[in-house]
Structure 1
Amino acid sequence: MEPVLPENNNKQGDENTMAMLCHLSALAGFIVPLGAVLGPLIVWLVKKDEMPIVDRHGRDSLNFQLTMLIAYVVSFILVFVVIGVILLPIVALFSLIMVVIASIKAYEGKEFSYPLSIKFL
């Protein structure tokens, strides 16, 4: 038996889908250099004016991805004193888990605040 999803009007469903894409597009960073920042940035810039939910989720996603970029750079520098070898996979796993959780929450139409995220935008 398939789960029953809440009924959304078409506009609300489209906004939730685009908000989810703001978060999921960050996974491009595992394939393309700086894709974790560029993916959410592109979705946010295209849809922020017409969809307020996408504006909110896009800002949150970008703030988190910029924070993670700083964490990756610091961890990479710390590789030279060995601690970064442990930190890099932890940062990557934390980022992946948070992106998946945020994507699910956005699709459900719920608010989600990334932990440890610096507010740049």
Structure 2
Amino acid sequence: MPSNNDKIMAALIYGISFFTVFIGPLVIWLVKKNDSDFIDYHGREYLNFLISYAVYGFISALLTIVLIGFVLAPIVGLLVMVFTIVGAIKAYQGERYRIPLVFRLL
């Protein structure tokens, strides 16, 4: 069971991403990953999520040429918002949340 501090830091990885998309979560993960497996898990999960959904966003931007991207881009944006909020809630509850459709690179 993760400590209360670990849960707050893991939730902060997701929460700070609304202000600093990449740098904030990366700094928290790099500083705290050796202190807790729970923080390490959520840091890796968020960074994999960020990479995956950046690829999805790029593909949907390319698909605007054939007009389907105008439908896909808002869907990808909405999924990013929803999965970030759900990830923060699950991290604060002490659960290990696996975000759907993510490439596990890290």
Q: TM-score, normalised by structure 2?
A: 0.91
- Name the CA distance, whole Å, in 2 between partners of 1:26 and 1:79: 26
- 1:79 and 2:64 correspond: yes
Structure 2: runs of 5+ lacking an equivalent: none
3-state DSSP of counterpart to 1:116: coil
CA drift of 1:37 comes to 3.1
Larger radius of gyration: 1
Post-superposition CA distance 1:5-60 (Å, at most 9, x none):
xxx9xx811110000011223323xxxxxx43333212111111112211011001
Name the structure, 1 or 2, with higher relative contact order (CA <8 Å, separation 6+): 2
Who is 1:102 aligned against? 87
Letter in 2 for 1:16: K
- 1:54 and 2:45 correspond: no
Please point out which of 26, 39, 47 is paired with 2:17. Answer: 26
- 1:119 and 2:104 correspond: yes
Who is 2:21 aligned against? 36
Alignment map for 1:8-23 (pairs within 5 Å):
12-23=3-14
Number of residues of Structure 1 aligned to a counterpart in Structure 2? 106
**CA RMSD between the two structures:** 1.7
Amino-acid identity (%): 34
- Name the CA distance, whole Å, in 2 between partners of 1:67 and 1:25: 19
Structure 1: runs of 5+ lacking an equivalent: 1-7, 29-34
3-state DSSP of counterpart to 2:22: helix
3-state DSSP of counterpart to 1:111: coil
Indicate conservation of the 8 Å contact 1:75/1:88, yes or no: yes
Indicate conservation of the 8 Å contact 2:33/2:40, yes or no: yes
3-state DSSP of counterpart to 2:21: helix
